[in-house]
Structure 1
Amino acid sequence: MTYFLTKAGLDFFIAFGIVLGGSLLASIGAVFMLLPPATIMLDTAMRLKIWAIVAAVGGSVDPVRVIESNITQGHLSPAAQQISYIIFAFLGAHVATELIKLICKGAV
């Protein structure tokens, strides 16, 4: 149980950090390119969301393979764990995106 919670927490914060960090760095780049930073920040957060989830859960199709192979063999617990990791990564990416929206609320 401890391993599950540790990995789920890490997946959350990895996805959160990817979206938040990528968006903040994109806004800094936008300033240098004389583009509106808030608009670029919001757009980048939306585009990074799915990639943050993929990176947090392993960066490839391995989690999907784990889900597929365990379900076909009738083992639902490992499949449920992988789905939970994906959900936690999604929550991290979504919270970061909402935070970016809150930060940029008055600027856009």
Structure 2
Amino acid sequence: MEDRMIVSIVQCFFIAFGVIVGGTIIGSIGSYLTGEAPLTSMFRIAKGLRIWAIVAAIGGTFDAISNFEKGILDGSTFDIFKQMVIIVSAMGGVKAALLLFEWLLGEEVT
């Protein structure tokens, strides 16, 4: 059971990281093709993708809500703990991707 949880944590981290990195790079290519400044749009796109990266990493909001419901109504605290750790892992992936863009572009992404 713990091995499966660790796998889920690592996957959620890198899914969130990949959504931010991939979405930002592809979105900035679109900005370049439309005549906008790609580096400026990278910051805007990365900020806009934060919540969507977390939602994509946890597999959609309904699964998370049903796991919370199962944990509260059935008294299974492990399900609540597991879901919270997965969400924190996805948030870590988002933060790591934003830090990567801060380092590459030299500005703070807020």
Tell me if both proteins adopt one fold, taking TM over 0.5 as the criterion.
yes
Query: 5+ residue gaps in structure 1?
Result: none
Query: 5+ residue gaps in structure 2?
Result: none
Greater shift in the superposed pair: 70-79 or 85-94: 70-79
Shift of 1:68: 2.5
Shift of 1:54: 0.3
The answer to whether the 8 A contact 1:70-1:78 is kept is: yes
Residue 97 of structure 1 corresponds to 98
Residue 19 of structure 2 corresponds to 18
Post-superposition Cα deviations, 1:3-60, rounded to whole Å, max 9, x if no partner, equal 1111110000000000000001111111111111111101111110100000110123
Report the 3-state secondary structure (helix = DSSP H, G, I; strand = E; otherwise coil) of the residue aligned with 2:61.
coil
Residue 57 of structure 1 corresponds to 58
Where has structure 1 moved over 4 Å in runs of 4 or more? none
The answer to whether the 8 A contact 1:14-1:89 is kept is: yes
Greater shift in the superposed pair: 8-17 or 66-75: 66-75
Residue 69, structure 1, aligned to residue 70, structure 2: yes
The answer to whether the 8 A contact 1:70-1:79 is kept is: yes
Matches of 1:90 and 1:65, distance apart in 2: 20
Instruction: Tell me the C-alpha RMSD between the 2 structures.
Output: 1.2
